[in-house]
Amino acid sequence: MAKRTTSFVCQSCGAVHMRWQGRCDSCGAWNSIAEEQSGGASVPSAQRGGRRGRLIALESLAGVSEDAPRIRIGINEADRVAGGGLVPGSVLLIGGDPGIGKSTLLIQASAALAREGHRVVYVSGEEASAQVRLRAERLGLAGAPVELAAETNVEDIVATLSEGGRPALVVIDSIQTMWTDTVESAPGTVTQVRSSAQILIRFAKRSGACVVLVGHVTKDGQIAGPRVVEHMVDAVLSFEGDGAHHFRILRAQKNRFGPTDEIGVFEMTGLGLREVANPSELFLSNRDHGAPGTAVYAGMEGTRPVLVEIQALVVPTSLGTPRRAVVGWDPSRLSMVLAVLEARCGIKLGAHDVHLNVAGGFRISEPAADLAVAAALVSSLSGSALPSDAVYFGEVSLTGAVRPVSHTGARLKEAAKLGFASAVVPQGKSAGTEAGETGLNVETASSLGDIVATIAARGPRRAPRVAQEG
Ligand code: TYD
Ligand code: MG
């Protein structure tokens, strides 16, 4: 019988400490250390010492491997984020705030796959089978042959899954509710989550089933507790959105079998999640044409262009230190653009509050938004509206120069498709030729000063309303 030991494990990063303490030395989290018992039974004593290892057959990298085809879910937005479908034998972790729609997305994906004739098992550790069934009924999916279980013991789940045909997809909702007999800690602790995940991952690799684990997210946006699980799985996806808006974004944070910069856009409706094939139309709906302080940014998310509206409000401050509030963009990037405007264009914003918002709750990660942000800021400060049929993109450097960005052609094409008539883009060798193909009126800018001068020359007024997309 292996000796039982007590250890103190940080529930946030998994670091093991000799004694309890208020703050984890490893990740700095407060009050995250919990006492856990380990039986030491997971490693047989023969493996720890004495036994001579078995010889493993080494293979060459060039050797042929059986190329298992990806299984397409049939929901395009999800397939693209996964890298073109599910890879048999892979394990995905999908994280997101409570109530964002993880269970809804997964029951819809399960039903879609099951209807294609694949074996799909949905294990819920949080809801009773009746609740899951009720939801499926409401979504019109009750007829799909998904196998359902409400269970939390991993050994029982794996034993059940091993019976019958190999499942194409197994959904575990959620990994935090799972527990295994091999460790004695309470469900939800790092040790339990890690061991349960390990067992499920081993099952996926052995059987060739694709396993999707649902993970909860903590207040600061990390998948709760087991960061360790993120290292063990093949892909980490996050499902984002905010309560005020109906649309949700599926994003890949890590993917061993595909790109990580693709997004999938969904809209939460009364009948579950609906795919949004053209997100630009959604983000640009309800625009206030001709108001000062707004600029349309032509961005890229992976291989897909996405047009969003950037709104800026610059007002005299009543505080000693002016306020800088940003929603949907990197605050340090805003500070940089403000500093460049001040140092290179002589625009003083030290006595102004600056509010920046990416409309619709979208989050931009590209530096190519610099130019659109600068244009919106200058427009708000001067009270001069930008033409409502123009798009902006380009990276601003600390010298005040506007740098070219990638995918100029794709951005311009999307703008033309949505009825925009002009674009302000960085000077570059390809800008002219690519613009010619789209029929847009392209203005190139080599420095931020050019743009500031153009906007200031328009004078404080609302732009005339231009007939445009709906
Ligand atoms: P859910 O999938 O249970 O979220 P999670 O598993 O991420 O915690 O989603 C629950 C929310 O989705 C709930 O607040 C209501 C909303 N919803 C709809 O608006 N329409 C629907 O058809 C469904 C099923 C849920
Ligand atoms: Mg749920």
* Alpha carbon distance 225, 196 (integer Å): 14
| Binding residue ranges for ATP | 96-103
Q: What is the DSSP-derived secondary structure letter of residue 7? A: E
Domain count, the chain: 3
pLDDT at residue 78, rounded to an integer = 92
The CB density around residue 459, as the number of other CB atoms within 10 Å, is 9
Mean predicted confidence (pLDDT) in 354-364: 88
280 CA → ligand 1 middle, Å: 24
Q: Are 272 and 142 in contact (CB under 8 A)?
A: no
Strands 294-301 and 247-255: unpaired
Whole-number Å distance between alpha carbons of 101 and 122:
15
Nearest ligand, CA 96: 1
pLDDT score at 12: 76
Candidate ranges 5-14, 181-190, 306-315; pick with highest mean pLDDT? 306-315
pLDDT by residue (tens digit) across 368-391?
Answer: 999 999 999 999 999 999 998 999
Ligand 2 centroid – CA 353 distance (Å)? 40
Q: In a 10 Å sphere around its CB, with 0-12 CB exposed, 13-18 middle and 19+ buried, how is residue 229 labelled?
A: buried
Question: What percent of the chain clears pLDDT 70, i.e. is strictly above it?
Answer: 88
Asked whether residue 294 falls in the same domain as residue 414, the answer is yes
Q: Which atom of ligand 1 is nearest to the CA of 139?
A: 22
- d(CA 214, CA 217) in angstroms, rounded, equals 10
448: how many CB neighbours lie within 10 A of its CB?
A: 26
Mean pLDDT of 61-83: 82
Residues 269 and 316 both lie in one domain? no
Q: Are residues 88 and 19 in the same domain?
A: no
Q: What is the CATH number of the domain that holds 344?
A: 3.30.230.10
- DSSP assignment, residue 251? E
Mean pLDDT of 357-362: 84
Nearest CA to ligand 1 atom 8: 99
HSE-up of 165 (CA within 13 Å, CB side)? 9
Q: In ligand 1, which atom is closest to the CA atom of 106?
A: 2
Q: Of the ligands numbered here, which is closest to the C-alpha atom of 98?
A: 1
Q: Domain boundary residue among 262, 277, 292? A: 277
Pocket probe mutation, ligand 1, options 100, 104, 135, max atoms within 8 Å of Cβ: 104
How many Å apart are CA 454 and CA 448, to the nearest integer? Answer: 10
* In a shared domain, residues 295 and 270: no
Residue 437 placed within a domain? yes
Same domain for 142 and 124:
yes
What pLDDT does residue 35 have?
83
- In this structure, the answer to whether residues 344 and 419 fall within a common structural domain is yes
As given in the structure block, the two tokens for residue 167 are 């499942």
Which of 199-213, 244-258, 310-324 has the least mean pLDDT?
Answer: 244-258
The per-residue pLDDT for 319 is 87
Q: Are 322 and 348 in contact (CB under 8 A)?
A: no
Burial label for 163, CB within 10 Å (0-12, 13-18, 19+), is: exposed
In DSSP terms, which residues pair with 425 in a beta bridge? 444
Which position has the higher pLDDT, 12 or 399?
A: 399
From atom 15 of ligand 1, which residue's Cα is the shortest distance away?
Answer: 99
Tell me whether residue 52 is in a domain: no
Q: How far apart are CA 384 and CA 362, in angstroms?
A: 25
Domain range for 10 is 5-41
Q: Whose CA is nearest to atom 23 of ligand 1?
A: 272
pLDDT of residue 243: 66
Task: Using the mean position of ligand 2's atoms as its centre, give its distance from the Cα of residue 210 in Å.
Answer: 19
For residue 174, cis peptide bond before it (omega within 30 degrees of 0): yes
| Closest by CA position to 296, among listed 307, 282, 312, 306 | 307
Ligand 1, atom 24: closest residue by C-alpha: 272
Same domain? For 265 and 154 the reply is yes
Determine the distance separating the centroid of ligand 2 and the alpha carbon of 326, expressed in angstroms.
Answer: 30
Domain of 248, CATH number, reads 3.40.50.300
Of the bound ligands, which one is closest to the alpha carbon of residue 125? 2
pLDDT band at 210 (very low <50, low <70, confident <90, very high): very high
pLDDT tens for 140-168 read 998 899 999 999 999 999 999 998 889 99
Q: Which residues line ligand 1 (CB under 6 A)?
A: 96, 98-104, 135, 139, 268, 270-272
pLDDT, position 467: 45
Ligand 2 center to residue 174 CA distance, Å?
A: 7
- Mean pLDDT score across all residues of the chain: 85
Residue located nearest, by CA, to atom 9 of ligand 1: 101
Closest ligand 1 atom to Cα of 126: 6
Is there a domain that residue 93 lies in? yes
Q: Which of 277, 298, 332 is the last residue of a domain?
A: 277
Radius of gyration of the chain (CA): 26
Asked whether residue 26 falls in the same domain as residue 89, the answer is no
* Cβ proximity of 107 and 132 under 8 Å: yes
332 and 295 within one domain? yes
